[in-house]
Amino acid sequence: MSTEKTTYTISIYTENTLGLLNRISAIFQRRHINIESLNASASEIDGVSRWTIVVLLSEEQMKKIIGQIEKQVEVIKAFYHTDEETIYQESCLFKIKSDLLFDERKIQNIIKDSNARIVTVNKAFFVLEKSGRRKEIELLHRELSAFGILQFIRSGRISITKQPMEISKMLKTFNY
Amino acid sequence: MKDPQTINQQQTNNNVSNHISGSEAIVRCLIEEGVDTLYGYPGGAIMPVYDELYKYQGKIHHVLTRHEQGATHAAQGYARISGKVGVAMATSGPGATNLITGIADAQIDSTPLVCITGQVFSHLLGSDAFQETDIVGISTPVTKWNCQVTKAEDIPKVIAKAFYIAKSGRPGPVLIDITKDAQLNTFDFSYNTCKGIRSYNPVPKVNNDALIAAADLINKAKKPLIVWGQGVILGKAEEQFKAVIEKSGIPSAWTILGASAIPTSHPLNVGMVGMHGNYAPNKLTNECDVLIAIGMRFDDRVTGDLSRYAKQAKIVHFEIDPAEVDKNVKTDVAILGDAKQSLEQLLPLLNKNTHTNWHNEFKALYDIEYNKVVKNDIHPTKDGLTMGEVLKEINIQSKGNAAIVSDVGQHQMIACRYAEFNKSKSNITSGGLGTMGFALPAAIGAKMAAPNRDVVAIIGDGGYQMNIQELGTILQQQVPVKIVVLNNEFLGMVRQWQQLFFDKRYASTEMVNPDFIAIAKGYSIDAKKVTKRENLSNAVKEMMQSEGAYFLEVCVEKEDNVFPMIPTGASVSEIRLS
């Protein structure tokens, strides 16, 4: 098995219980593995949470970590995927002085070319939202930096797999 | 607590529905789960439960230990000898944190425990209240599951879930933290045992194709070696295991926690693997062609240098916990599932064999070990007493029927190497965590769970003093446990390493010890000290025949070493005899 490090997206279907985040993050911390990003949200199944964790690991390490995650009582199922196996996005927000929108015509072009969206505008500032790949967001950040960014925030990765996830089917087999 | 995952529990009682307090509910839940004994220590945040234990004292026996650590180890001893869930209880704050060592020990040694801690009122949570500590946060990495309860009505469901999780699949410790208001508030009580949790699959299904592949490898093997662990005992698979090895004729070695699953004297039992295990199974691990691991996890103390561990062999791994497969050693065939069921299904697929020549290789290596190590350990000719000869005397007197509870260090390795076992669940020791101070309280729990068995605690002078306060528990409960302290006035294993790897710089390993006999007598425990060989046999006999608790101190050679030994970082085949 390859020991070369790859970016993996881990998808964890869990019960929505207190303290589980602590349990999962301890698995990474104990092994000195840095979490690149983490997102927790609802999933397609009622009452089931879906977490997306991005890590840089060898496949061998990845398999062991998945085993440790699945071992947790309240984890229903955990998967890992490479970038090629998923559709993934990040989202970001920029807060920029409103003056610039009128004084710097270039900004309008940047907004148009990057497919970013203006969320709100007032006299003092406007907020720009952009969803996409990390590279696109980084490019936009670089371009806007020249004009001055008041605030910037980027979300963790969210991802959908190309292959089906058969969680509902799995849960149906539980018939105690 | 939101608890959507425990569904459709089945009624087990006659629908008794009484309006009771959370604290009474806790006690009634324990009784419903068949708990007859629990170990603990009271305090402010758990007092309502103790008040109920007072009222229910004819139905459930609470044992007051002298320290909360003692409570967890006693509960472990209880669980290990009986196969039942051990229960420990403590108050919030320091009471709860004192449980942690025992919980961590139970986690790494897969011992089913339910620990119940009191917690401050829920409105005080997070306010740094008196004796408030985040025990759920603290215990998370060392529990199989844990949970805080802040509402009385959640208690039955959570306790039912706790027992189910603790004992199912690969067992482990569970902690439930219950706020004082949850203990005091009342609700309508009913109890249903937990039958399943949708996110938790404790026993994977045995895959028939994997079994066939395993049987094929085993049948074709010329030099197969079985290494079994505690999974055989936890899975109650002793009979099936014996049938498998007897049909296949495969030499079988054990990990420290696997000891006693089959009798020591069984002709196919080739001894212990690991750092201080036997010469033959360690050496031949690197010569076998198929290594069959059953209910063991390839701990580093078993494997030595992994990059030189059984590289020539095909690896077959029978295991209940999927996370253990390929964790340390890459397997060729993994059979996930319950040991009993897997072995039962494996048996008809195996060919009959005897592997006589291969067995002769084990015998030849054992002869070398006998002449260089064993003989001098159990039949010494030098003046000083050895730990090995004490074990030999205990074997003679107990006829191999005693349960041996050992602590951690040289005496533990000697006990595991030389104790003779006729019955399963007879070797109770702290394997994975290596917790000094384990044996005395664990022996109390073991003896209370198996009152008809002889329970002999074998402890070093260091570990004995780590939980020596539990002599008070022995006194108060009148537990007829036999305590043997092998006193070399050193932290012997650390001293051995200092001698071998630190040029004899004995940093903080020499012990100035108290008068152990006076201490035992202070607790009204019969006691004797042996310093000469001619007195050993009678002293051991007197101890084994005594009705009550008995303390035997044996002053052994100060600077004896335990061999064989695989030094840290060495390969199993580099095992040293001196």
- Dump pLDDT digits (tens) for B410-446: 999 999 999 999 999 999 999 999 999 999 999 999 9
pLDDT digits (tens, 9 = 90+) for B61-94: 999 999 999 999 999 999 999 999 999 999 999 9
Q: How many CB atoms lie within 10 A of CB A172?
A: 10
- Which of B 525-554 lie inside 8 A of A, CB atoms? none
Classify residue B93 as left (phi > 0), alpha (psi -120 to 50) or beta.
left
Q: For residue A62, what is the nearest residue in chain B, using CA coordinates? A: B327
Contacts of A51 (CB under 8 A, 6+ apart): A10, A11, A12, A14, A24, A38, A39, A40, A41
pLDDT at B477 over 70: yes
The mean pLDDT of chain A is: 93
* Residue owning tokens 């089906």: A164
Q: How far apart are CA B393 and CA B138, in angstroms?
A: 44
What architecture is domain B208-362? 3-Layer(aba) Sandwich (3.40)
B564 cis-preceded (ω within 30 degrees of 0): yes
Domain map (residue ranges) of chain B:
10-193, 208-362, 379-555
Token readout for B198 is 């949708």
The reply to whether ipTM tops 0.85 is: yes
* B372 classed as catalytic: no
Same fold, B208-362 and B379-555: yes
Detail the DSSP E strand segments found in B386-454.
403-406, 427-429
Question: Any CB–CB contact under 8 A between A16 and chain B?
Answer: yes
Q: What are phi and psi of B444, to 5 degrees?
A: -60, -50
Q: Would the CATH topology of A6-86+162-172 be identical to that of A88-158?
A: yes
Phi, psi of A49 (to 5 degrees): -90, 155
Structure tokens at B1: 């607590």
pLDDT, tens digit, 9 for 90 and up, residues A20-53: 999 999 999 999 999 999 999 999 999 899 999 9
Which residue spans within B120-193 are E strands per DSSP? 145-149, 173-179, 186-189, 192-193
Taking residues B448-454, report their average pLDDT: 98
Distance CA(A44)–CA(B383), nearest Å, equals: 75
Q: Which of B429, B482, B476 is nearest to B454 (CA)?
A: B482
Q: Quick check: is B544 catalytic?
A: no
Q: In this predicted model, which residue has the larger pLDDT, A171 or B436? A: B436
| Residue of chain A whose Cα is closest to the Cα of B10 | A176
Q: Do B196 and A76 touch (CB under 8 A)?
A: no
Confirm or reject CATH 3.10.310.10 for domain B379-555, answering yes or no.
Answer: no
d(CA B310, CA A43): 44
How much is the average pLDDT of B128-134?
98
Residue from A65, A84, A80 nearest A26 by CA: A65
Nearest to A30 among B141, B147, B198 (CB): B141
The per-residue pLDDT for range B263-277, each reduced to its tens digit, is 999 999 999 999 999
Q: Facing residues of B438 across strands?
A: none
Architecture of domain A6-86+162-172 in this structure: 2-Layer Sandwich (3.30)
* Segment B240-264, tens digit of pLDDT: 999 999 999 999 999 999 999 999 9
Residues of B in contact with A23 (CB under 8 A): 140-141
State the Cα–Cα distance between residues B261 and B427, nearest whole angstrom.
9
pLDDT bracket for residue A2 (50, 70, 90): low
Chain B residues with beta carbon closer than 8 angstroms to that of A22:
137, 140
- pLDDT digit string (tens) for B209-227? 999 999 999 999 999 999 9
Amino acid symbol at A175:
N
Least confident of A95-104, B117-126, B354-363: A95-104
Enter the DSSP assignment of B259.
T
> Per the residue annotation, which of B493, B543, B544, B565 is the catalytic one?
B493
Residue for token pair 């482990």: B172
User: In sequence order, which residues have a C-beta less than 8 Å from that of residue B342 and are 6 or more positions away?
Assistant: B206, B211, B318, B335
> Which residue out of B1, B57, B130, B382 is catalytically annotated?
B130
> pLDDT band at A166, cuts 50/70/90?
confident
Q: Quick check: B323 and A47 CB within 8 A? A: no
Integer CA distances (angstroms), B98 to B62, B133, B561, in order = 18, 12, 33
| Interface contact A46, partner B, CB < 8 A | no
Gyration radius from chain B CA atoms: 24
Of B165, B321, B325, the CB nearest to A73: B165
Q: For residue range B486-513, list pLDDT tens digits in order.
A: 999 999 999 999 999 999 999 999 999 9
Distance CA B151, CA B268 (A): 55
Read off the tokens for B347: 């048996």
- Inform me whether the C-beta atom of residue B364 falls under 8 Å from chain A C-beta atoms: no
- Cβ proximity of A155 and A39 under 8 Å: yes
As a three-state string, the secondary structure of B38-74 is EEECCCHHHHHHHHHHHHCCCCCEEEECCCHHHHHHH
Backbone phi, psi, residue B120, to 5°: -60, 165
CATH of domain A88-158: 3.30.70.1150
What distance separates the 2 farthest-apart alpha carbons in chain A? 67
CB–CB contact A23 B1 (8 Å):
no
Report the pLDDT averaged over residues A100-124: 92
Find, in chain A, the residue whose alpha carbon is nearest to that of B170.
A71
Per-residue tokens: B468: 């020596």
pLDDT for B19-65, tens place per residue?
999 999 999 999 999 999 999 999 999 999 999 999 999 999 999 99
What whole-number distance in Å separates Cα of residue B310 and Cα of residue B299?
14
Within 8 A of A18 by CB-CB distance, chain B residues are 1, 148
pLDDT at A105: 85
Strand partners, A14: A49, A75
At residue A24's C-alpha, the angle toward residues A168 and A41, to 5°, is 50
Query: Does B322 contact A at CB distance below 8 Å?
Result: yes
Q: What angle do CA B133, B104, B42 make, to 5 degrees?
A: 50
Residues facing A13 on adjacent strands: A50, A77
- What 3 state SS string does B366-400 have? HHHHHHHHHHHHHCCCCCCCCHHHHHHHHHHHHCC
> Does residue B6 carry a pLDDT above 60?
no
Residue B114 CA to residue B164 CA, distance in Å, equals 10
Structure tokens, B257: 């926690």
- Chain B residues closer than 8 Å to A76 by CB: 198-199
Reduced to 3 states (helix: H, G, I; strand: E, B; else coil), residue A2 is coil
Distance CA B217, CA B315 (A): 9
CA dihedral sign, ordered B217, B223, B228, B232: positive
Residue of A nearest to B8 (CA): A176
Return the pLDDT at B17: 56
- Cβ within 8 Å of residue B69, ≥6 positions away: B98, B99, B101, B102, B437, B441, B467
* pLDDT at B124 (0 to 100): 98
B23, HSE (Cβ side, Cα atoms, 13 Å): 23
Domain boundaries, chain A: 6-86+162-172, 88-158
For tokens 């005496």, the residue is B411
Told to judge if B68 belongs to the known catalytic residues of this protein, a careful annotator would answer: yes
- Chain centroid offset of residue B221 CA: 33
Tell me what pLDDT residue B1 has: 41
- Work out the percent of chain B whose per-residue pLDDT is above 90: 97
CATH number for the region B10-193 comes to 3.40.50.970
> Would you call B222 helix, strand, or coil by DSSP?
coil
| pLDDT, averaged across chain B | 96
Q: In this structure, which amino acid lies at residue B127?
A: S
- Pick the closest to residue B376 from B363, B389, B367 (CA basis): B389
At residue B499, the pLDDT reads: 97
For residues B517-543, give the mean pLDDT: 98
Mean pLDDT of A63-71: 97
pLDDT band at A172 (very low <50, low <70, confident <90, very high): confident
Out of B4, B9, B144, name the one closest to residue A73 (CB): B144
pLDDT exceeds cutoff 70 at A134: yes
| Cα–Cα distances in angstroms (integers) from residue B214 to residues B106, B204, B401, in the given order | 31, 17, 35
Quick check: is B121 catalytic? no
- Residue B2 is predicted with a pLDDT of 38
